[in-house]
Amino acid sequence: MFRRIEQQIQNEQFFLGSILQDWSLIEEASLQPKHFYHNQHKALFTKMLELKKQGQRVDLYVMSQLGDSAIDSFGGFSYLSELASCVPSISIFYKYQEQIYSFWMIQQAKESVNKFLEEAEDVIDPILLMELLERLSALELDIVKGRESFRELMAARYEEHLSSPESGLSGVDTGYPNLNVLTDGWQHGDLIIIGARPSMGKTAFALNIVLNGCRKDNIKAMFFSLEMSKEQIVDRLIALAGEINLMKMKNPNKHFSQDDWNRYHRAVAILDKLHLETSLENSVPAMRALIRKSVRENRNKKHVIIIDFLTLIKPTKRGTSRHHEIEQIVLDLKRMAVELKVPIIVLAQLSRQIEQRQDRRPLMSDLRESGAIEQTADMILFLYRDDYYNQSEKRKGITEIHVAKNRNGAIGKLEMRFIRETNVFKPLNELRIGGRHE
């Protein structure tokens, strides 16, 4: 029994520590303070729920501002810091929650049975027996409450299938018809990796996806840039929408012609009508909070999330190795995509080992920490431009888009023309479908 109590306290620590690491997880918590064994943990979770109700963040900084008496009731600030740093993985937050709840349920059942045995003594009292059965039935109802049966799930899916559109895409428009053929749009809940070596135009491609998709569909796009400033992103989008030489955007009054200014004003008018948001947040918890808020406030819009790029995302916890940190980040991103039901597109740098091969077209093994990425991602696209390595006027600007993995669809290649001066990707007609990725 002592070992079980130790495990319960540890699960409570992991559960509370996960919230301190990623305060948006408080939205996913289904426990109540009564479910906690440790009184300090009970008091801490009660305060977390109060902060949530007040619309405040639930993190270490906010906790540190509560005052000494409140902090002492939780075990002191050093204990709170220890909670935030001791979590093995926030990706199994729901497992901690389940274990806490299971322990509480078992304890409640034991208390009910023990109470019955104490009161019944040697004679079975029908009234006492009925009370015991009622208490156990109440626990049983508590266990199944909120759980969806297979029949209920199937009925919900049946309704969704009946109401699905007869035309159009099942996912979010990629902005390119040929790419839509392979993907049927970016699918909700999918983690999509776009990998390329530097100077292949992966950031430009991502911005083209954002711009074209938003112009074609009722989309809210969120672009998290961990490398560029917001001003640089805006300049790039204006250059894309107006097909303006990006170099001129550094000093329009010095370099713009009248035609450039006309294009500029048309581009601004186009962008003003679109639903775009840029952010410099560099951690999964901060991104999740912003995305959840946007999804909640824009329920009538499809969302697409772009993160530029993977290795610049800050880990929520220092891992034993960079490989372990990337693995954890990728798992957290996939979990976020599923929970919020949005496609998340992440740009990734490829290993420089690619430069040592005669054929420099990307392979799965070129993804840094490729094992974790290849296993977790639902879709992986590679960008390759031959004219970067081999001077050829015939192939100038031609970029191969290789859908190398597609868990729920076809794989294949298509080509686009990359106009470097404006960063615009224009579709070409060729599409080579290579079957399904298992």
* Same-domain pairing of 92 and 189: no
Full residue range of the structural domain in which residue 11 is found: 2-144
* Same-domain pairing of 226 and 353: yes
Compute how many other C-beta atoms are within 10 angstroms of the C-beta atom of residue 2.
6
**CATH at 97:** 1.10.860.10
* Same-domain pairing of 117 and 185: no
Q: What's residue 27's pLDDT?
A: 81
- Please give the DSSP secondary-structure letter assigned to residue 225: E
**Is the pLDDT higher at 128 or at 147?**
128
**Nearest-angstrom CA–CA distance, 107 and 113:** 10
Q: Is residue 152 part of a domain?
A: no
**Nearest-angstrom CA–CA distance, 421 and 234:** 16
Closest CA to 340 of 289, 275, 378: 289
DSSP structure string for 297-333: H-TTSEEEEEEE-GGGSBPSS--SSHHHHHHHHHHHH
3-state secondary structure 247-312: HHHHCHHHHCCHHHHHHHHHHHHHHHHCEEEEECCCEHHHHHHHHHHHHHHCCCCEEEEEEECHHH
* Same-domain pairing of 317 and 380: yes
Query: Which pLDDT tens digit goes with each residue over 389-424?
Result: 887 777 888 999 999 999 988 899 999 999 989 999
* Same-domain pairing of 306 and 263: yes
* Residue-averaged pLDDT of the chain: 85
**Nearest-angstrom CA–CA distance, 50 and 57:** 11
Q: What's residue 57's pLDDT?
A: 84
* Same-domain pairing of 282 and 334: yes
Point out the domain boundary residue: 96, 121, 144: 144
* Same-domain pairing of 139 and 181: no
- Please give the DSSP secondary-structure letter assigned to residue 217: S
| Catalytic residue numbers, as ranges | 227
Query: Which pLDDT tens digit goes with each residue over 285-340?
Result: 888 888 888 888 888 899 999 999 898 888 877 777 888 888 889 998 998 999 89
Cis omega (within 30 of 0) for bond into 309: yes
Structure-block tokens of residue 418: 């990359």
Structure-block tokens of residue 42: 């009970």
Compute how many other C-beta atoms are within 10 angstroms of the C-beta atom of residue 342.
24
3-state secondary structure 165-179: CCCCCCCECCCCHHH
What's the number of domains the chain is made of?
2
Amino acid type, 39: N
**Nearest-angstrom CA–CA distance, 218 and 166:** 17
Q: Is residue 151 part of a domain?
A: no
Task: Quote the pTM value.
Answer: 0.73
